[in-house]
Copies of this chain bind each other. A is one copy, B any other.
Amino acid sequence: MVTTKTVRGHNTFGLIEVRSQKADMTVIGVDIGGTKALAVAMDDGRIVAEQRSVLDRSTPTIDALIGAIDEVAEGPIDAIGVGVAGLVRVADGVFVWGPHVPGTEIPIRSLLAARYEVPIVVDNDANVAALAEFTTGAGVGYRNGLLVTLGTGIGGAIVIDGSVYRGESFAGEWGHVRVAEGGLLCDCGKRGCWETRASGPALARLAREVIAANPDGSLAGSLQGSEVIGETIVAAADAGEETARALVAEVGRAFGNGLSDLIAIFDPEIVIVGGGLGSVGESIVGPARRIVVDSVHGGNLRVPPTIQVASLGPSAGAIGAAMAAADLARVG
């Protein structure tokens, strides 16, 4: 089942050793969130193709997935793994609901199985990203930790004794812990969720407020011509624009306050910060780490955990989904 493949997109990571993948296996991993889908094809433990699509809510989720898979698969495939932002029942591969992803109760596994006729696993996006990070990324060597993804929203995965812990199905949805009573309306329908304070959209909202109040100011100037989104504001901050730096630090602190709470709850060995915005690194994670040191329950009587940026970058979810698929193909 080996096919010759052309590498498309950018292969950021070179050789990724996928645990227990048998030779000559081609698997597809797709990570689908609120604003984009990322698909990888992995062949014998190596990324051989990678494809990003920008999504809006008008595309049905299943169509976006099929599009991403067809785009990246060039020949026969052995298995497909999918990570979706939101509540996923792994047992039957149903996407139940997520505030950023269109549709509810979508039987993704059976819909894809009917089309592709290979083993398919569907899981929460952060759970598959954690599989990748704890197998080949920043979490190697750790047995108990959290992956916290910061992007369109905040997602998460719990790793206990080396495995992802899902509770009954949906554990890790801490982006929707309420941190601000009567706060901003969240996409989930409640107010004051952590991700209304710490996310790409939260950062963009702050920047738009500044620009509206001061359209000729330095921030507006530095973003001239760019879309006002998390990444461009971080880029402005990293280029030294002071207002952007202050806004990024504000979001970093809001992120860090929530991390302190998670540390009080889990006392993990390590917290890995991933996701599109979290992966940018120290601009966000630095202020978060300082807040944790200042505010973690128990203060200087305890050693706070390592807080580390994900090492597989924004592709961690797609890589992890492919790894889950490879595990499935091996056993099934």
Which positions in A face B, CB cutoff 8 Å?
87, 96-97, 104-105, 144, 160, 165-174, 176-181, 188-190, 257, 260-262, 264-269, 295, 297-299, 301-302, 305
**Inter-subunit contact B87/A302 (CB<8 Å):** yes
Instruction: Give the distance in Å from the alpha carbon of A173 to the alpha carbon of B189 in the complex.
Output: 27
**Inter-subunit contact B96/A267 (CB<8 Å):** no
- Could you tell me the distance in whole angstroms from the C-beta of A142 to the nearest C-beta in chain B? 11
For A96, give its contact among B160, B171, B298 (CB under 8 Å). B298
Once A87-B298, A170-B302, A298-B170 are accepted as A-B contacts, the answer to whether A179 and B176 lie under 8 Å apart by CB is no
Which chain B residues lie closer than 8 Å to A104 at the CB level? 301
Interface of A is mostly: loop
- Could you tell me the distance in whole angstroms from the C-beta of A307 to the nearest C-beta in chain B? 14
Given contacts A97-B298, A169-B267, A178-B257, 14 further A-B contacts (CB under 8 A): A87-B302, A96-B301, A97-B299, A144-B167, A167-B267, A167-B269, A168-B268, A170-B267, A177-B177, A178-B261, A181-B181, A188-B297, A189-B299, A262-B265
Which chain B residues lie closer than 8 Å to A177 at the CB level? 177, 261, 264-265
Nearest chain B residue, comparing its CB with the CB of A260: B178
- Could you tell me the distance in whole angstroms from the C-beta of A254 to the nearest C-beta in chain B? 10
Q: List 29 A-B contacts (CB under 8 A).
A: A96-B298, A96-B301, A104-B301, A105-B301, A144-B167, A160-B165, A166-B267, A167-B267, A168-B267, A168-B268, A168-B269, A168-B305, A169-B302, A170-B267, A171-B266, A171-B267, A172-B265, A173-B264, A173-B265, A173-B267, A173-B297, A173-B298, A176-B264, A178-B179, A178-B257, A178-B260, A179-B181, A181-B181, A262-B265
Which chain B residues lie closer than 8 Å to A188 at the CB level? 297
Which of A160, A173, A181, A265 has the most CB atoms of chain B within a 10 A radius of its CB?
A265
Which chain B residues lie closer than 8 Å to A295 at the CB level? 190
